[in-house]
Amino acid sequence: MGTPPIEEQEFLGGVKVVQIEDLRIARGLSRRPHSACPHVRLVYDEKERRVWCKDCESDIEGFDAFRLLVERSHAHQKDLIERMAKVEEAEAAALLSLAARAIDKIWRTRKSTPCCPHCRQALLPEDFKEGRPITMSADLARAQRDKMRRATTPPKD
């Protein structure tokens, strides 16, 4: 395996200010100690068939480069899963808001009233005047609807 590319400096012309970093690089030393570099900026050199870190300019073994890529991939996948959960939660909240807005819009017309999509009974504002409408668990309501659908749907042969 080759060493990192070294850009040699021309000091014969009389450089008045010598940069310590340039001398370190010219002697093959890196800008950072090897142990402190997390190897975030990997370079895949197809011509030299090697992987090296752009920060510390040290060669990275193939297995270590692959491990770093896999770790990053897993981290990105975890972030995407978390984002998807947040989006689904936001969509569920938006669904409730849209449903409430739709029912409110129908009630404000005062010419019609919303109906229960399940039993087709009218939902009148008077039904909720007490401020404490009759409620039930949403999970229980969905289970009851599924049970009724299965009972009314003929079995598939």
Tens of pLDDT, residue by residue over 64-116, are: 889 988 999 999 999 999 999 999 999 888 888 888 888 888 878 878 888 87
Q: How far apart are CA 114 and CA 120, in angstroms?
A: 9
Furthest CA-CA distance within the chain: 96
| pLDDT bracket for residue 132 (50, 70, 90) | low
| pLDDT bracket for residue 1 (50, 70, 90) | low
Q: Which residues pair with 53 in a beta bridge?
A: 42
What would the pLDDT profile of 122-131 be if each residue is shown by its tens digit?
877 777 777 7
pLDDT at 70: 92
Say yes or no to pLDDT of 149 above 90.
no
Say which range, 26-30, 40-44, 54-58, 148-152, has the weakest mean pLDDT: 26-30
Q: How far apart are CA 67 and CA 61, in angstroms?
A: 10
Terminus-to-terminus CA distance in the chain, angstroms? 67
Say yes or no to pLDDT of 142 above 90.
no
10 Å CB burial of residue 123 (0-12, 13-18, 19+) is: middle
**Domain ranges in the chain?**
1-60, 80-129
Contact present, 123 and 116 (Cβ < 8 Å): yes
For residue 55, what are the contacts with CB-CB under 8 A and spacing of at least 6?
Answer: 31, 32, 37, 39, 40, 41
Tokens of 59: 């060669």
